[in-house]
Structure 1
Amino acid sequence: MKDWMIDFAELAREELPPETAERLIGLLRPAIRLSAAEAGETVVGRLGGLPKLPDGMAWPSLSDGDRPLSFLAELDCGALARYEVDISLPDAGTLLFFATTDANEHQVIYVPHGTAVAERPAPDDRVEVYAELPLAATTEPTWPPRDHPVLVDVFGSLQEAEETVWHHVLDEDTLEVFEEQLRLFEDGGKDGPPHQVGGYSDALQSPIEAVAAHAAGTGSYGDPAFQEEARQWVTLLQLAEDGRTGMLWGDDAWLIWGIRRDHLAARDFSKVHLHVAGH
């Protein structure tokens, strides 16, 4: 068993019936959690600051060209390649993430390794320049949220998963359920805003896989076309609001970029789906 799985697997096997525990452990996905880089840590990217754009590339703007987008994040794919994750990132180059301040429009740019780039000043004062925050990384386990389509594949329905996993009673006297222990486990591993590459995103309403499948017009949970479309989507990047950079989108919103596996494999970032998740 891989190191990032061990603590979660021990929790599941201690608290759940054997068959349920193994099914849940089998659903684990490694994610790269991003945190503020401390002295001596490997920097894998950054939030904010000014982007390094390829020579000759115009600053990204709205689809109608009316207004420039704001730069949010840069990921160093070569540095991230050292960490286990469940998605096939490029093994070199950088990913640049831009969006409007209300996140209604966005653009993701892949800059291959060896491309000549230069830091570009903001084109005008409509661009929000966020404070720069270098990022470090670690691999952590993620598990599906309670309304994730993969639960239908494994447990038959969301209701069955709810009853079998989250509402499994641990103590008949106190009526403590597994969900409470899972929340304690999750809270114990948090260190700052939950920025993340890959894994299951922290769905505040609906997971990105379900959002993207709905957007594709494939029906809903349990429909074969919906389930198949949801399987094709993965989390590219999750950004939470972060007061250290000034990134605040209202209502404690998070930005979650999803991408189809085939588009990621083709290094086609033109069809990335951005989901704004708020409380």
Structure 2
Amino acid sequence: MTDWTSDFAQFAREELPAESAERLIGLLRPAILLSAAEDGELVVGRLGGVAKLPDDMAWPSLGEGSPMSFVAELDCGALARYEVDIALPDTGTLLFFVASFNPDRFQVIYVPHGTAVAERAAPGDHATVYPELLLAAGTEPSWLARDHPAVVDVFGSLQEAAEMVWDHVLDEDTGADFGWELMLYEEAGRAGPEHQVGGYSDALQGPIEAVAAHAAGTGSYGDPAFQEEARQWVTLLQVAEDTRAGMIWGDGAYLIWGIRKDHLAARDFSKVHLSVQGH
């Protein structure tokens, strides 16, 4: 068993019947959690600051003098040191931009290694310039929400999974169930805003895999086309609200970029799906 699974696996086996625990453990995915870099830590990216763009590339915009805001940069070469469940490029950088007042409009840019870049201020005064926050990384286990499409693949239905896992009663006197204990376990392990690459994103309204599959018009849970489309999607980046970088998306929201595995393999970031999810 790899190090990133051991603590959660022990927790699940202590709380659940053996069959339920092993099915849940089998669904774990490694995610790269991003945190504010301390002195001496490897910097793998940053939130905010000044964008570094190729010399011949225009600043992303909505047109008509409406530039997008620069949100994040990921150093793919640095991230390659960490285990994760997605096939990131092993060199180059990824740049993430969103429209300040219309987060449904965005752009993700891949800059290959060796490309000449220069710091570029956002044109005009309509883009938000966020304070820079350097990021360090570490691999941690991520587990899926109870309405994730992969639950259907492994348990047969959302209802069956609820009975076997989340609604499994641990204490008849208090009525405490595994879902409650999992929430406490998760909260105890949090050390700050949850920025991450890969793994299961935080699904406040719906898993990014399901959101993207719905957007593709493939039906709903249990439909073969929906399940197959959902399997093709992974989390590229999740950025939580973070006051250190001045990033407030609204009501505790996350920006979650998903991408199909085939587009990621082809280094095609033009078809990324962004979901803004708040409470």
TM-score class, shorter-chain normalisation, is over 0.9
**Which residue is 1:269 aligned to?**
269
One-letter identity of the residue aligned with 2:200: Y
Q: Which amino acid aligns with 2:179?
A: E
Q: Give the aligned partner of residue 85 of structure 2.
A: 86
Whether the aligned pair in 1 keeps the contact of 2:87 and 2:265 (CA below 8 Å) is yes
5+ long unaligned stretches in structure 1: none
Q: Name the residue aligned to 2:203.
A: 203
In structure 2, the partner of 1:42 is: 42
Distance change in 2, residues 1:66/1:124 (3 Å): closer
Q: Which runs of 5+ in 2 are unaligned?
A: none
Match of 1:243 in 2: 243
Letter in 2 for 1:76: D
Deviation at 1:171, TM superposition (A): 1.5
Instruction: Look up the match of 2:68.
Output: 69
Letter in 2 for 1:242: D
Q: Any idea what SS the aligned residue of 1:263 has?
A: helix
The corresponding residue for 1:181 is 181
Q: Which residue of 2 aligns with 1:116?
A: 116
Tell me how far apart the structure 1 counterparts of residues 15 and 176 of structure 2 sit (CA, whole Å).
Answer: 11
- Does structure 2 retain, via aligned residues, the 8 Å contact 1:101–1:249? no
Residue 3 of structure 1 and its aligned partner are, at CA, apart by 0.2
State the one-letter code of the partner of 1:83.
Answer: Y
Q: How many residues align structurally?
A: 278
Determine the C-alpha separation between the residues in 1 that align with 2:116 and 2:22.
48
Q: How many angstroms apart in 1 are the aligned matches of 2:273 and 2:177?
A: 35
- Contact map agreement 2:33 2:140 (CA 8 A) in 1: yes
Question: Which amino acid is 1:90 matched to?
Answer: P
Secondary structure of the structure 2 residue equivalent to 1:151:
helix
**Following superposition of structure 1 onto structure 2, how do residues 1-279 of structure 1 map, counting pairs within 5 Å?**
1-62=1-62, 64=63, 66-102=65-101, 103-279=103-279
Residue 104 of structure 1, CA deviation: 2.2
Seq. identity, %: 76
Residues in 2 aligned to 1:55 and 1:106: alpha-carbon distance in whole angstroms: 20
2:65, 2:124 within 8 Å by CA — same for their partners in 1?
no
Residues 147-190 of structure 1: per-residue CA shift (max 9 Å, x gap): 10000111111111111101111122222111122112111211
CA contact (8 A) 1:234 1:261 kept: yes
Distance in 1 of aligned mates of 2:21 and 2:251: 35
Q: Distance in 2 between matches of 1:135 and 1:251?
A: 23
Letter in 2 for 1:122: A
Which range moved further: 214-223 or 177-186?
177-186
Greater CA drift, 89-98 or 64-73: 64-73
Cα distance in 2 for partners of 1:153, 1:66 equals 47
| Whole-Å separation in 2 of the counterparts to 1:198 and 1:269 | 15
- TM-score calculated relative to the size of structure 1: 0.98
SS in 2 for 1:248: coil
Instruction: Give the 4+ runs in structure 1 shifted more than 2 A.
Output: none
**TM-score for the superposition, normalised by structure 2:** 0.98
Could you say what secondary structure the match of 2:94 adopts? strand
Question: CA separation in 2, counterparts of 1:30 and 1:24?
Answer: 14
Measure the CA separation in 2 of the matches of 1:217 and 1:76. Answer: 34
